[in-house]
Amino acid sequence: MKKFLLGMASIALLASCGSSDHGELVGVQDRPTWYPSEPYGMVYIPQGSFTMGNHDEDVPYSYTAPAKVVSVPSFYMDQTEVTNNEYRQFVRWVRDSITRTRLAEGLVEDFEYTDLAEMEDPTFFQEYVALNYPDSMMRRLDWDPYLEWDKDRYPSAEYTEVIESMYLAPEEQWLGYRHLDTRELNYTYFWINKQKAASKLNRVNFDYKDQDGDGELFGYRDYIKDTQAESDRASFFEKETINVYPDTLVWIHDFTYSFNEPMHDKYFWHPAYDEYPVVGVSWRQARAFANWRSKYRRDFLKRAGELIEHDFRLPTEAEWEYAARGGEELTTFPWGGPYATNSAGCYLANFKPRRGNLTADGGFYPVKTTAYSPNGYNLYCMSG
């Protein structure tokens, strides 16, 4: 009997130890630990409000673009403009991704897809997905094998055929120089159209008017006839494909009657311009770059078992002006004063300082991303 009572007491003690909240609302206790970190190459911009718009006398636009006070939440921003070398990392990743895809589709040895459905020791979850949702068992590229770009060291005829498909055909090569066919460098990505999903037409609500009170799930499309409401979440996935190579011809068609051919020929790829801002990138290309940068960071965090961070994006107009002002308010220039030079007579940004004189500020063409002093938020080249 004593043994029985002792056993019952032990069970009661263990049961009481299973919950230490004493019946109080304490929140979920097994949450992961998270410590905020500053993204590499970015600076923290504190929240605040500012007067957005032109502060000088601007009679023609005083009614169409009036100044107004705007509040901006805190955010991170790149300390400098995106450099040629940073954007080149994106271009090279796209090149390698396309090349590895073609090698895998061509069944070239050592570059085959990694098929999750053919794993030697799949988990129960992988077996379940392969059986019930076979289309979702995606094949993955194998990024481990080294890509050989030296034409004298190609390992096989099949490999040679794939690699040479990335280069210009002989009849398009200038003076016999082998160049990548930049028309092949197309980046495909997906994003969720949350504005479309949040529209009244596509919102889902509970109707509690039913007699049982359980609620019936319905969408607005159920009582709006001839509507264009979407039927599932996949309809909000947007697909975009964009060529990522910068438009190097901007040096020619944006400046007629000028000799900018050397900038066209060398600016993006020559090591001398690695730390200069990339030019010739459209808004769509910039969005694609932000998407790739988010994916590149997210893939690393997944491999490291870390929590996923916010995606990179382009700043809004208000965020840009707020960051460019560097904490200054109602000033002509972001550095605060009404003058374009400092006390030593040095210009504080790269712009056209005098009539017909583009060199007084120290830069005829774009300058290095850290050429001038940063503003109050420690951001470089936010004006000019």
Confidence of residue 257 (pLDDT cuts 50, 70, 90): confident
Give yes or no for a contact between 51 and 75, defined as CB atoms under 8 angstroms apart.
no
Angle at 350 between CA 347 and CA 351, to 5 degrees: 100
Instruction: Give the separation between CA 224 and CA 235, rounded to whole angstroms.
Output: 19
Element (H, E) at 263: helix 261-266
- The fraction of the chain above a pLDDT of 70, given in percent, is 79
Q: Give the integer Cα–Cα distance in Å for 131 and 79.
A: 49
Cα distance from N-terminal residue to C-terminal residue, the chain? 90
pLDDT (tens digit per residue) in 348-374: 777 777 676 777 667 788 889 998 888
Work out the angle at residue 152's Cα, subtended by the Cα atoms of residues 148 and 156, and round it to the nearest 5 degrees: 65
108, with CB counted inside 10 A (0-12, 13-18, 19+), is: buried
pLDDT band, residue 342 (cuts 50/70/90): confident
Q: Where are the domains of the chain?
A: 192-240
Least confident of 24-33, 40-49, 62-71, 163-172: 62-71
Give the integer Cα–Cα distance in Å for 95 and 292: 13
Give the range among 61-70, 138-147, 164-173 with minimum mean pLDDT. Answer: 61-70
- From 196-210, 276-290, 310-324, the region with the lowest mean pLDDT: 196-210
Copy the structure tokens of residue 335: 């550095």
Helix axes 84-105, 283-304, angle to 10 degrees: 70
Distance in angstroms (rounded) separating the CA atoms of residues 277 and 272:
12
pLDDT tier at 347, thresholds 50, 70, 90: confident
CB neighbour list of residue 338: distance below 8 Å, 6 or more residues apart: 331, 332
Question: Nearest Cα to 146, choosing from 161, 163, 168?
Answer: 163
Quote the strand ranges of 163-250, DSSP E: 186-192, 204-207, 216-219, 237-243
Q: Is the pLDDT of residue 234 over 90?
A: no
Using the predicted structure, report yes or no on whether residue 162 has a pLDDT greater than 90.
yes
**What average pLDDT is seen over the chain?**
82
Name residue, tokens 């403009």: 81
Chain position carrying tokens 């509040």 = 71
| pLDDT for residue 209 is more than 60 | no
- Residue 268 vs residue 223, higher pLDDT: 268
Residue 21, CA distances (Å) to 27, 32, 298, 360 in order: 9, 18, 35, 70
